[in-house]
């Protein structure tokens, strides 16, 4: 028997765990939409666990507001969010790709250039938003690469402390 959460009342069935951040009280799940079978990522934020606190709730609400504004190829789209008894969940598009960290050392120089250009195009899109959005946790683990087309979702996650926007966060990003 698995110990996956039951999100069926919200229309989702958890398939497996993708990752866990114990300090932040976050578990990331691969799930499917019950009515369509489409795969999604559900980030479960649990504030009632040791080491996590409700004080981060407003930061997560800001993250949701920023994610709702984003509409660009390569950035996993925001789908939904819902409250749970001990926190809330954020639902995003699932990108079936490996992280750049998993693929390091496997690219030719032209492929590296192509990946860099796509990443910069996404950063330019974020910077050109009004107000601009700044992702402060760009690292190989957070960059997903679709090998055949080198499509580049910039990030599998936008941790709330890494997003800044005049409407979403103050000027220092906190």
Q: Per the domain annotation, does 30 fall within a domain?
A: yes
- CATH number assigned to the domain comprising residue 22: 1.10.510.10
The residue range of the domain holding 154 is 8-164
Q: How many whole angstroms separate alpha carbon 88 and alpha carbon 54?
A: 11
Structure-model confidence comparison of residues 74 and 1, the more confident one: 74
Is the residue at 172 inside a domain?
A: no
- How many domains are contained in the chain? 1
CA–CA gap between residue 106 and residue 118 (Å, rounded): 18
Mean pLDDT of the chain, nearest integer: 80
Q: Taking the model in full, what pTM does it have?
A: 0.76
Is residue 58 situated within a structural domain?
A: yes
Residue range 68-120, pLDDT digits in tens: 999 998 899 999 999 898 888 999 999 888 889 999 888 889 888 888 998 89
Per-residue pLDDT at 174: 30
Q: How far apart are CA 161 and CA 123, in angstroms?
A: 17
* Residue 173 resides in a domain: no
Mean pLDDT across 4-28: 90
Task: Write the DSSP symbol of residue 154.
Answer: S
Give Cα 163 to chain centroid, integer Å. 11
- In the predicted model, is pLDDT for residue 5 greater than 50? yes
Query: Per the domain annotation, does 92 fall within a domain?
Result: yes
Contacts of 41 by beta carbon, 8 Å cutoff, 6+ apart? 18, 28, 29, 30, 31, 76, 91, 92, 93, 94, 156
Residue 169: inside a domain, yes or no?
no
> 18 in a domain, yes or no?
yes
Amino acid 59: pLDDT: 74
The pair phi, psi for residue 153, each rounded to 5°, is: -60, 125
The verdict on residue 174 lying in a domain is no
Q: How far apart are the C-alpha atoms of 93 and 38, rounded to whole Å? A: 9
pLDDT of residue 144: 86
């Amino acid at each position: 028997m698995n110990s996956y959460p039951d999100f069926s009342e919200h229309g989702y069935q958890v398939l497996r765990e993708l990752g866990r951040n114990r300090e932040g009280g976050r578990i990331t799940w691969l799930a499917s939409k019950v009515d369509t079978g489409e795969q999604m990522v559900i980030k479960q934020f649990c504030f009632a666990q040791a080491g996590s606190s409700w004080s981060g709730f407003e930061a997560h609400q800001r993250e949701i507001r920023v994610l709702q504004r984003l509409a660009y190829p390569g950035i996993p789209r925001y789908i939904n969010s819902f409250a749970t008894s001990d926190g809330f969940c954020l639902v995003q598009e699932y990108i079936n790709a490996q992280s750049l960290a998993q693929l390091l050392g496997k690219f030719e120089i032209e492929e590296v250039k192509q990946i860099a250009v796509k990443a910069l195009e996404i950063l330019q899109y974020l910077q050109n938003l009004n107000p601009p959005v700044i992702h402060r946790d760009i690292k190989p683990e957070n960059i997903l690469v679709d090998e055949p087309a080198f499509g580049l979702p910039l990030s599998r996650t936008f941790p709330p402390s890494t997003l800044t926007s005049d409407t979403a966060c103050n000027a220092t990003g906190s």
